[in-house]
């Protein structure tokens, strides 16, 4: 910010270069010492300089800030609380406040969120060790460095932390003589603890832990858990109401709820928060938070009997990939459930994904009460064959849709039906589209029961219908925390309308009219963004386009774009901000080369396959490897993305029969006989396989002809010590090898011996 008329040229020997910001109590300038060191100089407003109480508080701020010297606070360089205009200089931290970052870029992704929580907890640990209570921890008092993770922090300390806590303006020592004025509430609703309103003279360190919980909700959702129209309503909600956690990742909810406890004695210490966060995976949970309030969770959610274990589990990362150019859509949902109990008695569920490394099987044990199960697909009574049915395994249940049932939830522990939403298609509706149910934000989306090809949204656990979008609509996808709907029916026109909705409320967020040659336009991006494939072949009198655009998922605001690589390329998938393009050979659906493009910088590099493959669905990218299911050869091809060379391919004799999923050092795929195979991702060799879940006939049981079946577009889901699979015959669950002994015995039994 430029300097204004009347701003000082220097303060305390520091040359003033510009304004950083201004607040109710003073102005913060960017200053420079004689040696060239950058500092932030806070100068008190003139109207407060003659106020004895305010001067006393400013002295207290300087004293408190000097006592705190942690890596995640800005150290005091110099100060003069007795000057005509009191001032204090701290090390300059180049970066935005958390408030600015969220306003400009939207909610933080999981690694940033976890890191923010850990560094704030560490800062509070140091602040409290110095016997200081901050009392005003809020988004504008948290700075995020412009380049976190480097070898040197902004203060030159050599620390690479992302976060700095600033502004100790109303902080005080635990035994300070400067007391809060009677009737004066100090702090910033809605990030204040209840006791700051009810007993402001007696607040202690737990108020900062309460603010930490509120900041984590804000960083994940863009809203305080006690958001209100004004400070008075925010104060009332803080004291009397339950917090609204919105899209906070499921895995963080128990910890955040403990931080937001009404009673200060029930909140964890910063050290306990650190321990809890350290136990969470670095690369997960994937970006699929549940968008619901704590009140909805308490009043509306009905957990079916027998679901006790999974009721505590976090939502799995099930962000379906966009519709591919040919064949079934790829879905790879990976999760693991581990119980975490912190010292305050708070239980949390942890989720791992394919990038998390670790064991080669899903978990060390299976959930209590689980037994292997299989549920056959509905039968066509005339042909005695499985009817059209689509199922999506998920941590909150297995969800299936068919021509006769709008949506059914199967208990992941037992396979038994928890609830069913029947079809109400009127006779006037002659056709009905079936698609895999889409799960996101604690909600299941499917084509509507009234048969118009609209969209119905149901609560994933209770089955309560939350909202309906009348159709017809071509498709819908849960991407980056929003439901993106391709409005209207598929037509020959290259122009379509896409609308984004809040997944829980059904509120329209934005809509765009898009002209593109691509069958699938929108893709999930990092940090709450979407990528749009806007490539368009120019026709006579019309301009063409090669743009891949980037949008804010919640607002629809365009953030930038880049030119895609040239050629007849299919944007197969987007992962971690990179686009993976397959080059078609003469429009045959066969590809022998992939291009990888950084969708921010535009840089492109190519990878050649050892032979031409037929990728009917997007590849799976995990770490530095890409796994591609070749439908034509029934094999999985693994490629090293760093070196651009093939790693291995599975043998054709294995007959891989589904899209793959990867967890730790193991790749999972479903086989023609409904068994699940585990492949070592380092060698491409089979590690083990489960017994078949469906024994169709003697020939099939021996691996005979399966030509009447189709490869599955649904990858096995690794959840805890259990694997869930989908085939033409139906849906099943088996134990992963290495899970507890009893579960393994159950998994090895032939399917016709299983009971229930």
Segment 405-426, tens digit of pLDDT: 889 999 999 999 999 998 876 5
For 163-205, write each residue's pLDDT tens digit: 888 876 544 443 333 333 333 334 467 788 988 887 766 688 9
For 318-334, write each residue's pLDDT tens digit: 333 333 333 332 222 22
pLDDT of residue 396: 84
Same fold, 1-91 and 334-753: no
pLDDT of residue 432: 52
Of 388, 338, 397, the residue nearest 365 (C-alpha): 338
Preceding amide of 190 cis, omega within 30: yes
Angle of CA points 723, 724, 727, to nearest 5°: 130
Lowest mean pLDDT among 339-343, 405-409, 687-691, 719-723: 339-343
Strand partners, 668: 661, 678
Identify whether the C-beta of residue 107 lies closer than 8 Å to the C-beta of residue 288: no
Q: Is 324 helix (H, G, I), strand (E, B) or coil?
A: coil
Q: In whole numbers, what is the pLDDT of the chain averaged over residues?
A: 75
Q: What is the chain's alpha carbon radius of gyration, rounded to the nearest angstrom?
A: 28
Q: Could you give the CA distance from residue 29 to residue 163 in angstroms, rounded to a whole number?
A: 20
Report domain 334-753's class: mainly beta
**Check: CATH 3.30.200.20 for 1-91?**
yes
Identify whether the C-beta of residue 645 lies closer than 8 Å to the C-beta of residue 605: no
pLDDT of residue 365: 72
Average confidence (pLDDT) over 650-663:
86
pTM, two decimal places: 0.53
Domain ranges of the chain: 1-91, 334-753
Residue 369 Rama label (left phi>0; alpha psi -120 to 50; beta): left
DSSP output for 463-479: --EEEEE-S-EEEEEEE
For 701-751, write each residue's pLDDT tens digit: 444 444 456 677 889 998 878 999 998 888 999 998 854 433 333 333 333
Structure tokens at 123: 């800062």
Q: Is 363 helix (H, G, I), strand (E, B) or coil?
A: coil
Structure tokens at 374: 């299989």
Residue 612, H or E segment: strand 604-613
Residue identified by tokens 């093939």 is 646
Q: How confident is the model at residue 209 (pLDDT cuts 50, 70, 90)?
A: very high
Q: Is 65 helix (H, G, I), strand (E, B) or coil?
A: helix
Quote the strand ranges of 208-324, DSSP E: none
Residue 718, H or E segment: strand 717-719
Q: 204 CB contacts (<8 Å, ≥6 apart)?
A: 133, 174, 264
pLDDT > 70 fraction of the chain, expressed in percent and rounded: 73
Identify whether the C-beta of residue 628 lies closer than 8 Å to the C-beta of residue 619: yes
* 633: DSSP letter: T
Structure tokens at 618: 């997007």
Measured between its terminal Cα atoms, the distance across the chain in Å is 69
Q: Could you give the CA distance from residue 114 to residue 162 in angstroms, rounded to a whole number?
A: 11
Burial class (CB in 10 A: 0-12, 13-18, 19+), 532: buried
Q: 199 CB contacts (<8 Å, ≥6 apart)?
A: none
């Amino acid at each position: 910010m430029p300097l204004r008329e009347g701003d000082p040229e220097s303060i305390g020997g520091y040359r003033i270069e510009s304004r950083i910001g201004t607040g109710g109590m003073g102005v913060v300038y960017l200053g420079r010492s004689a040696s060239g060191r950058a500092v932030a100089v806070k100068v008190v407003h003139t109207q407060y300089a003659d106020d004895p109480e305010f001067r006393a508080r400013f002295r207290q701020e300087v004293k408190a800030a000097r006592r705190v010297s942690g890596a995640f606070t800005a150290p005091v360089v110099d100060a003069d609380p007795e000057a005509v205009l009191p001032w204090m200089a701290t090390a300059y931290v180049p970066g935005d406040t958390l408030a600015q970052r969220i306003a400009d870029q939207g909610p933080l992704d999981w690694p940033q969120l976890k890191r923010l929580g850990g560094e704030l907890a560490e800062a509070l640990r140091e602040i409290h060790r110095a016997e200081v209570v901050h009392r005003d921890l809020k988004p504008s008092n948290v700075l995020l460095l412009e380049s976190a993770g480097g070898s040197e922090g902004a203060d030159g300390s050599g620390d690479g932390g992302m976060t700095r806590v600033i502004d100790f303006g109303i902080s005080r020592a635990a035994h300070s003589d400067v007391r809060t004025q009677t009737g004066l509430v100090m702090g910033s609703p809605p990030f204040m603890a209840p006791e700051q309103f009810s007993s402001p003279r007696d607040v202690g360190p737990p108020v900062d832990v309460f603010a930490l919980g509120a900041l984590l909700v804000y960083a994940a959702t863009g809203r305080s858990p006690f958001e209100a129209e004004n400070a008075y309503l925010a104060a009332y909600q803080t004291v009397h109401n339950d917090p609204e956690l919105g899209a906070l990742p499921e895995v963080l909810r128990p910890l955040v709820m403990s931080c937001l406890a009404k009673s200060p004695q029930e909140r964890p210490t910063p050290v306990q928060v650190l321990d809890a966060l350290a136990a969470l995976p670095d690369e997960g949970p994937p970006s699929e938070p549940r968008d619901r309030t704590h009140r909805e969770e308490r009043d509306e959610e009905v957990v079916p009997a027998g679901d006790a274990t999974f009721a505590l589990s976090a939502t799995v990362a099930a962000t379906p990939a966009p519709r591919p150019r040919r064949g079934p859509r790829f879905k790879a949902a990976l999760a693991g459930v581990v119980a975490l109990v912190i010292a305050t008695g708070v239980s949390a569920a942890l989720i791992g994904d394919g990038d998390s490394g670790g064991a080669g099987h899903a978990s060390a044990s299976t959930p209590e009460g689980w037994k292997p199960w299989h549920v056959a697909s509905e039968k066509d009574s005339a042909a005695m064959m499985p009817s059209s049915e689509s199922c999506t395994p998920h941590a909150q249940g297995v969800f299936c849709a068919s021509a006769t049932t709008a949506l059914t939830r199967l208990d992941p522990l037992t396979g038994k039906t928890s609830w069913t939403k029947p079809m109400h298609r009127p006779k006037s509706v002659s056709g009905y589209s079936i698609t895999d149910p889409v799960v996101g934000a604690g909600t299941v989306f499917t084509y509507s029961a009234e048969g118009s090809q609209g969209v119905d949204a149901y609560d994933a656990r209770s089955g309560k219908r939350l909202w309906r979008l009348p159709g017809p609509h071509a498709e819908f996808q849960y991407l980056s925390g929003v439901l993106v709907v391709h409005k209207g029916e598929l037509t020959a026109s290259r122009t379509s309308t896409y609308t984004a909705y809040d997944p829980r409320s059904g509120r329209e967020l934005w809509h765009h009219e898009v002209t593109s040659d691509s069958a699938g336009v929108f893709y999930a991006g990092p940090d709450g963004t979407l990528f749009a494939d806007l490539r368009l072949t120019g026709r006579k009198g019309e301009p063409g386009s090669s743009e891949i655009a980037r949008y804010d998922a919640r607002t629809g605001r365009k953030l930038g774009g880049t030119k895609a690589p040239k050629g007849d390329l299919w944007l197969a998938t987007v992962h971690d901000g990179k686009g993976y393009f397959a080059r078609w050979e003469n429009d045959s659906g066969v590809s022998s080369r992939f291009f990888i493009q950084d969708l921010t910088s535009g840089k492109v590099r190519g990878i050649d396959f050892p032979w031409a493959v037929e990728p009917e669905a997007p590849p799976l990218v995990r770490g530095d490897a890409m796994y591609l299911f070749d439908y034509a050869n029934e094999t999985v091809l693994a490629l090293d993305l760093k070196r651009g060379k093939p790693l291995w391919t599975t043998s054709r004799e294995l007959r891989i029969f589904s899209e793959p999923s990867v967890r730790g050092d193991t790749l999972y795929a479903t086989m023609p006989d409904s068994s699940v195979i585990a492949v070592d991702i380092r060698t491409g060799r089979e590690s083990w396989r489960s017994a078949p879940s469906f024994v169709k006939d003697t020939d099939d049981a021996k691996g005979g002809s399966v030509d009447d079946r189709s490869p599955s577009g649904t990858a096995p889901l690794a959840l805890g010590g259990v694997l869930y699979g989908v085939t033409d015959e139906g849906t099943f669950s088996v134990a992963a090898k290495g899970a507890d002994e009893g579960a393994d015995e159950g998994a090895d039994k032939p399917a016709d011996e299983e009971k229930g």
